[in-house]
Structure 1
Amino acid sequence: MDPARALSDAQPAPYWLDDPGRPSARPALVGDTRCDLLVVGGGYSGLWTALIAKERDPSLDVVLLEGQEVGWAASGRNGGFCEASLTHGFENGLARWPGELAELERQGRVNLQAIESTIKRYGIDCEWERTGSISVATRPHQLAGLRESARAAVEHGLELTFLDADALRSRVDSPTFLGGLLDRNGTAMVHPAKLAWGLKAACVSQGVRIFERTRALGLTADGSGIAVRTPYGEVRARKVALATNAFPSLLRRVRPYLVPVYDYVLMTEPLPDRLLATVGWRGREGLSDSANKFHYFRLTADNRILWGGYDAVYHYGSRLATELDQRPATFRTLARNFFRTFPQLEDVRFTHAWGGAIDTCSRFCAFFDTTHQGRVAYAAGFTGLGVGATRFGAEVMLDLLAGEPTERTALKMVRSKPLPFPPEPLRWAAIEITTRSLDRADRHGGRRNLWLRALDRFGLGFDS
C-alpha cells in the first residue's frame, strides 16, 4: 500500500490517550499550602516518587503538582516497553560501568518485579504482559554484535539467547530479519497511559494530594525548607523531588545536561487473526532492530501493531512546541519501513500517528543529584527507556533526600553525571553531525567515522 494512503485516516493523537476511560483532571491548586514532600511532575517519575514515599512513611504529607494532566506527556504516549535495564540496554551499561553491571542488572530485575507487584497490589488494569523482548538484526554486520552481547551477558548473570534467521522468523516472520537476541524475562508490555492513570489512583488512595493544571513556576529556599511558586499560590515543603524530565528544570544548573528529542509513532488498526497468523508473533515479544536509527514495535491487547522510532529530531534551541508533535515526513518514512518489514500486511491501515519529546542526556540513561543542602533531589535523562527505570529513579531520589546510604546510592551510575551538552549553536551542530554520522554508519556496515570515534573516546558513544 502507498504509505500516504495508509495514513490518510490516522488521527493526529496518541492512541493510548484516545480512551473514553481517561480520568478527569483533579482541581488546580488555589492558594498556599504546606507539605513534607513536594513532587513536581505527574509522569511516571513523579507518580512513583509520591507513591513510594507514602509507602515508606504513611504519615508523610505528600503533594504532587502537574502542569497539565497526569500522564499527558511521554508517560502516556510511549511505546509501552517496560524493561529491567536501568542503563538503556545491556550494551550501554557494559560500555560505561562494566565493573558494576551485574549489580545494575540485578537491581533492574528487582525493580521490574516491584513494578509488577505494585500493579497487582493496587489492582491497576494496564494490560501488563511479561513477554520478553528481541533485538533484531536486519543487516549482516549487526549479527556479530548480537552474538557478542549474548556471550558477554553470561559473564554478568544474564541469559540472552542468540536466534538465527530461521529461529527468529519462526517467532516473528519478516523477510528483513537475519537474526536476533532474545531476552525472555527482562521486558513487559504495558498500556502506558493506563499505567499512569492507575498510579495516580494508587497515589490518591494512599493520601497523596494531587493538583493538576498547576505549573511550578519557580523554586527558592525558604528558611529550612523550599518554596515553589504556582500560578495561583505557593507550596512550602520540607523537601522537593523534581520529575520534569524533558521540560526545562526549575534548576538552571541541570538544563545543560538535557536536550529534548522528538520521537514518532504509528498505530495500526486491529489485525484480524488471519493476518496476524501471517506474521506469527505468538510470544507477543517487544521487538526493536539493531540499527542506529532503529524501529521499536509491539502488539497491543487488541492486536494492533505499534511501530515507532527511526527519526529522533532535535530542534534548535531545545525548542518544545505542540505543533512539533506532528511530522508528516517522518510518518511517511515510518509507514514505508513498516510495509518493507511486513509486506504480508500491505493492506493494513494506520489509525493514529503522533510524536512528542523525550529527555536525552549524553550517556543515554538517567542521572541524579541533590541541591539546596540536600533538600531538593532530581532524576532526569531517561532517554526513552523510562517506563521501568523511573521507578528506580524515584527510589534514588527518596534515598538521597533521606540522606542515608543504600545499595542504590552506592552505585557509580548514581554517583556520577554525564557530560553536559555545549551551548547553541554548537549544540545543534554537534547533534546534527552525530545524527548524520549514525545514519551513514547504518548504510556502511556499521563503520563509525572519525566524529563518532571521537565521541566514543570521550564517553559520548551514541549508538541509537
Structure 2
Amino acid sequence: MAPAAMTFASSLSDAQPLSYWLDDPARPAPLPALTGDEHCDLLVVGGGYSGLWTALLAKERDPGWDVVLIEGHEVGWAASGRNGGFCAASLTHGLGNGIARWPGEITRLEELGARNLDAIEETVARYGIDCDFERTGSIDVATEPHQVAELGEMYEGAAGLGFDGLELLDQDAMRAQVDSPVFLGGMWDRRGTAMLHPARLAWGLKQAALGLGVRIYENTRGLDIASSASGAAVRTPYGRVFARRVALGTNVFPSLVKRVRPYTVPVYDYALMTEPLSEEQLSSIGWKGRQGVGDMANQFHYFRLTADHRILWGGYDAIYPYGGRVSAEMDHRPETYLKLARHFFRYFPQLEGVRFSHAWGGAIDTCSRFSAFFGTAHGGKVAYAAGYTGLGVGATRFGGEVMLDLLSGRRTERTELEMVRTKPLPFPPEPVAWAGIGLTKWSLARADANGGRRNAWLRTMDRLGLGFDS
C-alpha cells in the first residue's frame, strides 16, 4: 500500500462498522413480535418512514381507525436509520428531474412538496420529536468548470418558471459558505431542505403513532399477502393479520405484490462520519450556515454537519448486487470507505489528521425515473409506494398520503397527478440488468471525466427516460 493510501486507511482505523445514527443511547428497545392472529381496519407493512408516516396520518385522519404496523426487524433500522438526514421538499428528486418528466405539472408538484416539508416541520414540533431539525437549506456545488455553466442554466430555468428562493453563488461566495479548494460555485436553495437526525425522526414517529393508538409489532416480517372476505390477509411467522385495507411501505425489500418487484433494484450507498471537529477545525472550513451540500457530478458526494459538529460524508459509489439481492454482507465495503476517505481529504485538506468514527452502508430502493411510484392491488384493498431512490426522508410522507388516498377510493389533488397515475419503466431481468447497469455506471464515470459529455449509451437512456444514479 502506498504511503498516501496508508494515511487514508489510518483515518479509518477506529471507525465502527455501523450507522452513526443508530449508535445512539436514545435508541428504543424493540416492541414484542406478533403472535397469533390480529384484525384491524388498516395494516401497514414496514416500519421505516413510509410505514410510520402512513400509520400516523391514518390515525390523524380518522382517530377511530384501528391501525396495526408490522416491521420485519426494528423500526428505523434500514434506510430510515442510515441515510444522510437530508429532508428535501422535492418530490421528484430535484427540480431538473421533475421538469424533464412532468413539465405540465411541475409547478403543482413543487407546491405540494413545499407544503409537505412544512407539514413535516409542524409534525416534529407538535409531537416534540427531538431529531435536530434545522431548515438550513442545501447547496448544489460545482467542482468542475462545466458544472458552473450547468448551475447557471439550472438557475435561469428555475427563475423562468417563477421559482424563487434560490441564490447563485460564484466561487468566492461559495467558499464563504463552505471553504474547499475544489469548489468553483454553487446554488443555494434556502428553504427547500431541512437537516435532521434520521433515526431519531423514525423513533419519534414511532412514539407519536403509539400515542395515537397504533399497535406496532417489531421483528414481525410480512411473508405473503392474499385477499380475504373482509379485505386482505398478511401472513407473518407466528400468525396472520386480517385487515380491511393494507399499505405496503417495504421499499427496497421485495414487495408482497410480486408484479411490483421489477420496478425497483437495490443500490448500495456508503457513508463515513468524522469524529467531532474542534473549534479550530470548524473555523478552517467556515461552514457557519450548516447547509446540506452535494456536488454535481454523476458520481456525487453528499455531506453535512451534525449537531455535535461532525461531518457526514457519503455517496459516490453506487453498488448494484447481481440479481438485486438485498444482503447484510453488502452493508460494509472497505474499498469504498477508503475511496471516500481519500476524496474527503481532497475536498478538505485543511482537516488533515481528522479520523472517522463510523462507516456504514445500506440499500436504496432505486427506480428508473428517480422518484416514487404508486399503485394498488387486490381490487384496491392494497396500496404501495416505492422507488424513492435516495430522496425519501421527506417524500415518504407524501407517499403515505397518496397510499391513504388510493385506499379511500376518492379522487384527490394527489391521485390526479400524472406522477401518481403513471409508473417508471421496469428493469430488465438478469443478466441484462447487470450488464446495463454496469455500462451505465461506466458511462457516467466517463462523463464526469470528460467535461460532462454524455456518450451514445447515456443519450439513448435519456431519450428512453431511464436512469441510474450514484
Q: TM-score, normalised by structure 1?
A: 0.99
Offset, 1:336: 0.2
Distance, in Å, in 2 between the alignment partners of 1:161 and 1:413 is 28
What is the letter of the counterpart of residue 323 of structure 2?
A: G
Map 1:42-441; keep pairs closer than 5 Å.
42-159=47-164, 160-441=166-447
Contact 1:455/1:462 (8 A) holds in 2: no
Distance, in Å, in 2 between the alignment partners of 1:215 and 1:276 is 44
Q: Count residues in correspondence.
A: 464
> For residues 400-458 of structure 1, what are the alpha-carbon distances to aligned partners after superposition, in whole Å with 9 as ceiling and x for unaligned?
00011111111111111000000000011110000110000000010100100110111
Return 223-232 or 188-197, whichever deviates more: 223-232
Return 65-74 or 220-229, whichever deviates more: 220-229
> For 1:220, what is the secondary structure of its paired residue?
strand
Equivalent in 423, 447, 455 of residue 453 of structure 2 = 447
Offset, 1:210: 0.2
What is the letter of the counterpart of residue 125 of structure 2?
A: K
Contact 2:230/2:243 (8 A) holds in 1: no
What is the letter of the counterpart of residue 114 of structure 1?
A: A
Distance, in Å, in 1 between the alignment partners of 2:140 and 2:417 is 27
> For residues 283-325 of structure 1, what are the alpha-carbon distances to aligned partners after superposition, in whole Å with 9 as ceiling and x for unaligned?
0000000000000000000000000000010010001111211
> For residues 78-135 of structure 1, what are the alpha-carbon distances to aligned partners after superposition, in whole Å with 9 as ceiling and x for unaligned?
0000000000011111111111111100100000000000000100000000010000
What is the letter of the counterpart of residue 116 of structure 1?
A: E
What is the letter of the counterpart of residue 191 of structure 2?
A: N
Q: Segments of 4+ in structure 1 off by > 6 A?
A: none
Partner of 1:8: 13
Contact 1:101/1:156 (8 A) holds in 2: no
Partner of 1:23: 28
Offset, 1:6: 0.2
What is the letter of the counterpart of residue 153 of structure 1?
A: A
Please, which runs of 5 or more residues in structure 2 have no aligned partner? none
Distance, in Å, in 2 between the alignment partners of 1:283 and 1:20 is 28
What is the letter of the counterpart of residue 262 of structure 1?
A: Y
Contact 1:94/1:101 (8 A) holds in 2: yes
Partner of 1:33: 38
Please, which runs of 5 or more residues in structure 1 have no aligned partner? none
Distance, in Å, in 1 between the alignment partners of 2:14 and 2:348 is 20
Distance, in Å, in 1 between the alignment partners of 2:89 and 2:350 is 32
Offset, 1:224: 3.4
Cα RMSD of the aligned pairs, angstroms, is 0.8
What is the letter of the counterpart of residue 8 of structure 1?
A: S
> For 1:98, what is the secondary structure of its paired residue?
coil
Contact 1:456/1:462 (8 A) holds in 2: no
Contact 2:318/2:469 (8 A) holds in 1: no
